[in-house]
Amino acid sequence: MGRVFVVRHGESEWNSGVAKRLREDVRLTETGVAQAHSLAGIFKEISWDAIYSSPLTRAQHTARIASSRSDILIDPRITETYFGEMEKIEIDQKKWMDVWQEYWEGNTGLIAGAETFEDMKTRVDNFLNEILTAHKGKDILLVTHGGTQKFIWCYFNEHPSDSNYHKISPLGNCEYFVETF
């Protein structure tokens, strides 16, 4: 039986309140680096068959530290949610959080050019179908983002029938879950 360890990247400049653009390529903070080192201690006995990361720096850095390896496979299908026009503007924290919540409650049309849930589901499902076949019975590490991890969790469990992904709790920075396949 194989296992997939799904990790959300360590704390980044985005998470600490400096920026609010999901695909902005920001670095880990010192706290994020420490979080990834803590994961490395937890994962030290695991022999990874493959380690996959989002192309964003915060995920790649977390993957290298947490796995204690440098042979990370980069795949854009596990990058963060694309928020269209919201990626290009500065807005205050409260407005951002209001829009964020409404989006995850299923109103993906609220933001011009934003990735739809169906698009996210398709890219994540295609990725998982491919890697689970390629690494059958092995241990795999995936380092991704808060939005993407919701769709990975749903792949193994269940998508909300009302498309309200806000109901699915996101992982905290450097938190993880494990699924068997």
Predicted local distance difference test score (pLDDT) of residue 16 = 60
The Cα–Cα gap between 51 and 84 comes to 28
Q: Select which of 11, 61, 80, 179 is catalytic.
A: 80
In this prediction, residue 179 carries a pLDDT of 98
- 23: how many CB neighbours lie within 10 A of its CB? 17
Predicted confidence band of residue 22 (pLDDT cuts 50, 70, 90): low
Question: Can you tell me which residue has the tokens 């806000």?
Answer: 166
- Residue 20 is predicted with a pLDDT of 54
Question: Worst-scoring range by mean pLDDT, 13-22, 77-86, 107-116, 167-176?
Answer: 13-22
80 is known as an active-site residue: yes
Environment class of 174 (CB within 10 Å of its CB; exposed 0-12, middle 13-18, buried 19+) = buried
Residue with tokens 């890219």: 123
| Mean pLDDT, residues 53-73 taken together | 97
130 an active-site residue? no
Say if CB 164 and CB 105 are below 8 A apart: yes
**Mean of all residue pLDDT scores within the chain:** 89
The 10s digit of each residue's pLDDT in 74-115 is 999 999 988 887 777 766 667 777 887 888 787 777 788 889
Higher pLDDT, 16 or 96: 96
What residue ranges define each of the domains in the chain, with the CATH number in brackets? 3-180 (3.40.50.1240)
Q: How many whole angstroms from its chain centre is CA 30?
A: 20
Question: What per-residue confidence (pLDDT) applies to 17?
Answer: 57
Of 16, 79, 67, 59, nearest to 37 by C-alpha is 67
pLDDT at 49: 97
**Does the pLDDT of residue 7 top 50, yes or no?**
yes
Rounded CA-CA distance 41/181 in Å is 24
Q: What phi and psi, each to the nearest 5 degrees, are found at residue 140?
A: -125, 140
In this prediction, residue 19 has a pLDDT band, given cuts at 50, 70 and 90, of very low
Q: Is 101 helix (H, G, I), strand (E, B) or coil?
A: helix
